[in-house]
Amino acid sequence: MKLAFSTLGVPGVPVTEVARLAAAHGYQGVELRAHPEEPVHPGLGPVERASVAEEFGRAGVEILAVAGYTRVAAPGEDGPVLAALAGLVDLAHDLGAPYVRVFPGGGDQDPAEAGPIAARRLGAAAPHAADQGVRILLETHDSHPAGADVARVAGTVGHRQIGAVWDVMHTWLAGEEPVASHAVLAPHLGYVQVKDIASPEDTTPLALGAGVLPLKTCLDLLDPGDWVCWEYEKRWYPDAAELPRMLSAGREHLLRLGAPKE
């Protein structure tokens, strides 16, 4: 198991400090939140992109993914969505990241309508992603919270550059058992996002192991080389505890949970 954390947990922190935190606390990778309010986003020029890649390279930390906010099932024209996808793919390529994370974002549409929209757009984006050596991963989130929802879209596309991110909180909130989530997502899986919360009604981020999510059950289903990313949603919960002081304990907890069974 390879471990990363998301910069959603350290909003606005410069990449130099993010790379230092990852290296100092034993994380092999980082998921970079790609938003204009963050240091890394699609508006960066070539020199800035090269500088970010070099910073993580010097620290010996991989950029696991560019976490974008494009909603591939959103109502409206395809053009803006495809342009946003291309921008994220190019950013990931320039940073040396293998993955781009996107959301379904189907809103109140009937899933029977939203799913084909997402599949059409992802299918159209796949050739460019292949040219750039990047996989676009659809997260279990919002309108498509269950593994079955996302797997249906990825399966419809049927292209190796289109895959899935398994956010274990959203599949759990959707009432899907971990074994069922993994079974449908495994053929498409890029990496797994873990977190912990107090209850379905209180999703304030907690230290790993302090909440109710079935993290061990999920990790037991993974292969030894799979990536696991701690997505601590500090950005949306400013009163939550600071992530840096929990990074070492979080890493140790995940390693204990993911230890091979005797």
CATH number at residue 172: 3.20.20.150
Does 115 or 112 have the greater pLDDT score?
A: 115
Q: What is the mean pLDDT of residues 100-126?
A: 94
Let me know: does 202 contact 238? Beta carbons within 8 Å. no
**pLDDT (0 to 100) of residue 123:** 98
Six token digits for residue 77 = 């024209």
Does position 129 have pLDDT exceeding 70, yes or no?
Answer: yes
Split into its structural domains, the chain has a count of 1
Domain membership of residue 211 (yes or no) is: yes
Mean pLDDT of all residues in 60-67? 98
Question: 150: domain range?
Answer: 2-257
Residue type at position 218: C
Q: Is residue 235 part of a domain?
A: yes
Listed in sequence order, the residues at least 6 apart from 131 whose beta carbon sits closer than 8 Å to its beta carbon are none
Q: How confident is the model at residue 262, as a pLDDT? A: 44
**pLDDT score, position 111:** 80
How high is the pLDDT of residue 110?
84
Q: Do the strands 135-139 and 29-33 form a parallel or antiparallel pair, or are they unpaired?
A: unpaired
In a domain, 29, yes or no: yes
Whether pLDDT at 261 is above 60: no
Q: Is the pLDDT of residue 40 over 90?
A: yes
Q: What sign does the CA torsion over 39, 42, 47, 52 have?
A: positive
Q: Within a domain: residue 18?
A: yes
**Mean pLDDT, residues 154-174 taken together:** 98
On whether residue 228 sits in a domain, the answer given is yes
User: Quick check: 237 pLDDT over 90?
Assistant: yes
In a domain, 177, yes or no: yes
Q: Residue 258: its pLDDT value, please?
A: 85
Mean pLDDT of the chain: 96
Is 262 a member of any domain?
A: no
3-state DSSP helix/strand/coil % of the chain, to nearest 5: 45, 20, 35
Which pLDDT score, from 0 to 100, does residue 260 have?
61
